[in-house]
Amino acid sequence: MAYKVGVLGGGPGGYVCALKAAQLGMSVVLIEGEQLGGTCLNRGCIPTKALVKSADLWREIGRASEFGLHVGDKRVDYQAVVARKEQVVNSLVGGVEKLMKAANIRVIKGWGEFKQLGHISVTTVNGEEDLEVENLVLATGSTPVRIPIPGADLPGVVTSDEILDLTYMPKSLVIIGGGVIGLEFASIYQAFGVKVSVVEMLPSLLPTIDEEIPKRITPLLKRNGIDIFTKTLVKQISQAGESLLVQIEDAKGVKEISTDCVLLSTGRRPNLRGIDINGLGLEIDKGAIKVNSKMQTNLPNVYAIGDVVGGIMLAHVASAEGIIAVEQIAGHSVEMSYRAIPSAIFTHPEIATVGLSEQELKASGVDYRVSKFPFSANGKALALGESIGLVKILANHEGVVVGASIMGPQASTLISELVIAIEKGLLAEDLARTVHAHPTLPEAVMEAAHGILGKPLHLA
């Protein structure tokens, strides 16, 4: 049987692409070597957020007396925490499987290879099968980068994939890499009482976002007991009895950190496994598949989406790209826009950003306006006992919102209003004049928008 659309990879890009193709009346086959949902659902977004919830709840229990509540004997049962994480993951994987079945999408569990235009060769437990596909969407995702540090292959040195398989809680953890993944794990494990150290070779944590946010969250992380080393290189990792020694070097010299576990959190790279790049003549750019704004590769009827194309490696970006690819196959005139892509970082407190950063606006030389409103002046945040952080809005000289950053309670949810504002080219005045419910956290967004016009209302 020939299929209108073949999708290689069942992550948030691949399975959403397949669902959209089925909705548009196309025959679809999806090939996935492991579980549906890819890294995001199985080893990334979802399992880590399940751990984040347990960590946040544990923090709340620790602060219960502040709210007039007195809790008795309390302890962390980490095996139960992991079991709940697995339950959440399995539930969502099962949900995706049901969606595939309901949409009449053929799902093959096996390893696919793309060596010939119009065909995918799949190896399963039952042998090999050659599939004929009119249009192919490559959605093979990414894999963690294992940096070439001496000792990086020692037992106890894990990637972001492998740390989720731990059924015990280490007493200490060194995280190499101060980006999104590293800081999320730092916040999780610190909440459970693990001694955490973060080593970053660049001058700042979270180097890709508005520089004001790392400046604000770094002292908070330190106050919570996390050791932060920036402008610091990792020289080697060595075994010392049952512990690991991480040798680091900064401007002050060389020192060693003793730890139970080391997390390598230095990014991810596109997964090109099973794709005959040279034989097909597939164009690659900096280790990623090169595509245009319609997600088309240089090969006819071959598309690529998600982490395998590099760029913004986020699950929601992969899903959006998957929809664009399949709508293009259906003959629609659509293009992918990256103007308003939100990013959420589940540290404590949460961080979310969208659009341009202030340093980008400064570098461009354009006139811009900036407004900030602290959660310490928001009634709902005070009632929640989560008053640390702020909403920061950036607008151009005409008052159009072009960027925003939030650090504080439910930042990942609050950012959505600003995503819509940037995507639709709204003025800060449009947000300020929109009536927001009281008392709520989104009022902080409204207040920051008022600041673009002149001054927030509830700020002396």
User: Catalytic site residues?
Assistant: 438
Rounded-to-integer distance, Cα 182 and Cα 267, Å: 9
Report the Cα 69 to chain-centroid distance in Å: 35
49 three-class SS:
helix
Cα 283 to Cα 276, 358, 449, distances in angstroms: 11, 34, 44
* Angle, CA of 186, 190 and 196, to the nearest 5°: 65
Enclosing H/E stretch for 258: strand 253-259
Q: How many CB atoms lie within 10 A of CB 448?
A: 27
From residue 347, give the alpha-carbon distance in Å to each of 83, 172, 173, 257, 379: 22, 18, 16, 23, 22
Q: At what angle do helices 443-453 and 411-423 cross, to 10 degrees?
A: 40
Tell me which amino acid residue 355 is. G
Contact 372, 448 (CB under 8 A): yes
What sign results for the dihedral spanned by CA atoms 372, 377, 381, 384? positive
